[in-house]
Amino acid sequence: MKLKLEITATDGLARTGVVSTARGSFATPVFMPVGTRGAIRSLSTHELAGLRTAEGSRAEILLANTYHLMLRPGAETVAALGGLHRFSGFTGHMLTDSGGYQVFSLGPKVTAEGARFKSTYDGTSYMLTPEGAVKTQELLGADMQMVLDVCAPLPSSESVLRDAVETTAAWAARARLAHRRTHDQALLGIVQGGDNIMLRRESAQRTVELDFDAYAVGGLSVGETRERMLPALQSALAELPVDQPRYLMGVGDPLSILEAVSLGVDMFDCVLPTRLARHGTLLTDSGRLNIKRAEFARSEDPVDPNCPCATCANYSRGLLRHLSCLGETTAHTLCTIHNLTWILGFVDQIRRAIANGKLEEFRSQVTPVWSTMGPGLGE
Amino acid sequence: MKLKLEITATDGLARTGVVSTARGSFATPVFMPVGTRGAIRSLSTHELAGLRTAEGSRAEILLANTYHLMLRPGAETVAALGGLHRFSGFTGHMLTDSGGYQVFSLGPKVTAEGARFKSTYDGTSYMLTPEGAVKTQELLGADMQMVLDVCAPLPSSESVLRDAVETTAAWAARARLAHRRTHDQALLGIVQGGDNIMLRRESAQRTVELDFDAYAVGGLSVGETRERMLPALQSALAELPVDQPRYLMGVGDPLSILEAVSLGVDMFDCVLPTRLARHGTLLTDSGRLNIKRAEFARSEDPVDPNCPCATCANYSRGLLRHLSCLGETTAHTLCTIHNLTWILGFVDQIRRAIANGKLEEFRSQVTPVWSTMGPGLGE
């Protein structure tokens, strides 16, 4: 099912609009929280569904990790339980990655056929192929699935990056042929090429030739600086169709989102808001706030008096510090509620800025706050 | 502030009614969830406040543990943060224990003055006195506070039980004198005496002589069987004023609640529903259900299709098993939501049975389901 982006406003290369899917539609730019094992860590799905930003928007898309779900409880089990939506209890859109990102972090044995790896759960050996990744994700049944790609670390030599592009292209063609669940599921191709401008362009062209339902840029935010990341991203984006959504994988620090939107990216996912939450780091309009700091012990203030989230509505910084310092999982939940609400609201502001032609103004306002936080928090 | 119970119906010795407090009122019998450190473990307070049983009732009283709060973040800090209600974010009734239960589990050095113990947080030495416990709980600011008592383990020799009764009586008199926050806080006396019928009667009489705002029975559910527990309980209850609420401390297995209600108890607290939840054990009308069992891997059914809780409304047994087996804290949260809703609903049924004069019928229905679960899960 091809994903079309109906653009409602542009500001430079940035665009805001609506993507139609078999399930309904979602507004872009969009941030997708990561529900690793079918649920966001420390946050139940019904609480995720209840999150609202100041503008009233919610989490439209939940990402789930194929690597984890194919091993526990297994894709067949998720299918037997009615697919990922019924399994997770999330009624919005869902997207699954291919599992490749986690598999490659394990140093698998890669052949033309696929990647052989050992499960981090029990050491069992598995073979992940492009066809297998498609089939697994069809069983999981998200609205969007990703092709299996090869993600090279950065820095890597040109030959390593070239090999990753070639294997990614060969696997993408096989995935495209293998995809059967086309009536209600979109298959997204992935551009690789590391930080090499020419390889990014070539990879994008070869991916577009395969005519995917939408396109993603992978293999960024893997150790490089934002200054290395953005030209490579720009080079890829220039080759992608204007009227289909573009997804920058695994990038979710505020400034990288903003810079990538400025180059024409529409979709983001990242564990940053949820992982930071579990460490007691809160996202605010003034930057990061470590709730464990002693100065908050007797603070009756909420994290942000203007934030509409349940955490800011009900609890003081003092209570959050208390529970965080004790490692109570309730603290993780409360910080996760706030951080997701904050980043969804941040993307609300980006959409509004584009609609009003004021993205540059918003960027100059936000850049000083977030420039010290780099990209790069994959999971 | 004296607590009065307005009895609306009785069935044998069992009674149902309404207790008026400075904050408002609550219906009895009542089950009080335990918010150890100012929050229920694995459940945020706003979710607790949102729990509703099939009959529409909610958690009316939240218990908090003085031992934990006096050490972290400290009673002065809780007071500086506006007291326990503002600290926890709970707007219903709150009750604090004296801290004695935890202190005595640490094997303190007990003198006439008080109990000297080492903090489990950092090893610091503390002295807990009857006056100190009152003062600490005044700072915490719950609606109800408990005197410091001496809780002997069971079995204990008669001389040990006698000593506990004597010290408890002496400390109760000092606590009664020390209590200053009488305008908005009730002070509850505690009956001791172990499983000794005569000592229970004597302890109850001596406690009532001190004219407390209400009365509790402590030192039960500490290792003895239900058959040992109930006669001792009955002996104590016979001496307590009919028109004030009676609280059986730390007892919360369904059958013990039911048996104790039948003897005239009104208030209960226990970590049982929340602790079982964190181990994946769910309470249902058919008994305990271990959600980790392999048979639930592909079960699309909710835990209980008739349960109104968010867990049963949104998630399958298969999903709960998956998250529980992985140790995801979200599983603890979801199981806690269900178990608390179940036990609150169980107490709803008890209130209704008393009102309808059908407690015996309810008891014969419930006893076979719960007879294998003994009392005894302190925290």
ipTM (interface predicted TM): 0.96
> pLDDT (tens digit, 9 = 90+) per residue, B291-327?
999 999 999 999 999 999 999 999 999 999 999 999 9
Across the 379 residues of chain A, what is the mean pLDDT of every consecutive 10-residue run? 97 98 97 96 98 98 97 98 98 97 92 96 96 98 98 95 98 98 98 98 98 97 92 98 98 96 98 97 97 98 98 98 97 98 98 98 97 65
Are residues B87 and B229 located together in one domain of the fold?
yes
Are residues B172 and B257 located together in one domain of the fold?
yes
What's the pLDDT score for residue A378?
A: 39
Query: Of A157, A227, A241, whose CA–CA distance to A199 is shortest?
Result: A157
The Cα B114–Cα B134 span in angstroms is 13
Does the active-site annotation cover A269? yes
We report the CATH number of the domain holding residue B77 as 3.20.20.105
> pLDDT (tens digit, 9 = 90+) per residue, B22-48?
999 999 999 999 999 999 999 999 999
Angle (CA) B227-B231-B236 rounded to 5° is 145
Are residues B19 and B156 located together in one domain of the fold?
yes
| B235 close to B200: Cβ distance less than 8 angstroms | yes
Are residues B143 and B282 located together in one domain of the fold?
no
Domain closes at, from B243, B270, B297: B270
Asked, for residue B278, whether it belongs to a domain, the answer is: yes
**DSSP type of residue B219:** S
What's the pLDDT score for residue B372?
A: 86
Domain closes at, from B221, B255, B270: B270
Are residues B260 and B277 located together in one domain of the fold?
no
The Cα A79–Cα A86 span in angstroms is 9
- DSSP string for residues in A98-136: -SHHHHHHT--EE-SS-EEEE-TTT--EEEE-HHHHHHH
Are residues B163 and B186 located together in one domain of the fold?
yes
Helix (H) / strand (E) element for A92: namely: none
Q: Give me chain B's average pLDDT, please.
A: 96
Helix (H) / strand (E) element for B214: namely: strand B214-217
Asked, for residue B266, whether it belongs to a domain, the answer is: yes
Is residue B379's pLDDT more than 60?
Answer: no
In the sheet where B246-248 sits, what is the strand order? B30-32, B267-269, B246-248, B214-217, B186-191, B144-146, B93-96, B61-64
Asked, for residue A302, whether it belongs to a domain, the answer is: yes
Return the residue of A nearest to B315 by Cα: A89
* A39 closest CB neighbour out of B40, B321, B330: B330
Asked, for residue A295, whether it belongs to a domain, the answer is: yes
Q: Token pair for residue A118?
A: 């050992």
Q: Token pair for residue B271?
A: 């970590």
Is residue B374's pLDDT more than 80?
Answer: no
Q: Token pair for residue B204?
A: 């109850």
Helix (H) / strand (E) element for B143: namely: none
Asked, for residue A18, whether it belongs to a domain, the answer is: no
pTM of the model: 0.97
Are residues B115 and B257 located together in one domain of the fold?
yes
Which residues of chain B neighbour A39 with C-beta distances below 8 Å? 319, 323, 328, 330
Are residues B178 and B140 located together in one domain of the fold?
yes
Q: What total of structural domains would you count in chain A?
A: 1
Residues, chain A: 379
Longest dimension (CA), chain A: 61
> pLDDT (tens digit, 9 = 90+) per residue, B152-180?
999 999 999 999 999 999 999 999 999 99
Which residues of chain A neighbour B323 with C-beta distances below 8 Å? 37-39
Are residues B108 and B228 located together in one domain of the fold?
yes
Domain closes at, from B270, B287, B302: B270
Q: How far is CA A216 from the centre of its chain?
A: 10
Asked, for residue A334, whether it belongs to a domain, the answer is: yes
Asked, for residue A318, whether it belongs to a domain, the answer is: yes
The Cα A98–Cα A65 span in angstroms is 8
Are residues B207 and B339 located together in one domain of the fold?
no
* B333 closest CB neighbour out of A300, A316, A333: A333
> β-strand A287-290 against B109-110: which pairing, if any?
unpaired
The Cα A255–Cα A261 span in angstroms is 10
Residues, chain B: 379
What's the pLDDT score for residue A379?
A: 34
Are residues B177 and B82 located together in one domain of the fold?
yes
Angle (CA) A309-B321-B56 rounded to 5° is 50
> β-strand A246-248 against A61-64: which pairing, if any?
unpaired
Q: How far is A43 from chain B (nearest CA, A)?
A: 6
| A40 close to A34: Cβ distance less than 8 angstroms | yes
- Dihedral (CA of B344, B280, B36, B229) sign: positive
Q: How far is B49 from chain A (nearest CA, A)?
A: 11
In this complex, how many residue pairs, one in chain A and one in chain B, have their CB atoms less than 8 Å apart? Answer: 123
- DSSP string for residues in A245-262: -EEETT--SHHHHHHHHH
Asked, for residue B46, whether it belongs to a domain, the answer is: no
Query: Whole domain around residue A278: which residue ranges?
Result: 28-59+271-367
Return the residue of B nearest to A323 by Cα: B37
Are residues B286 and B242 located together in one domain of the fold?
no
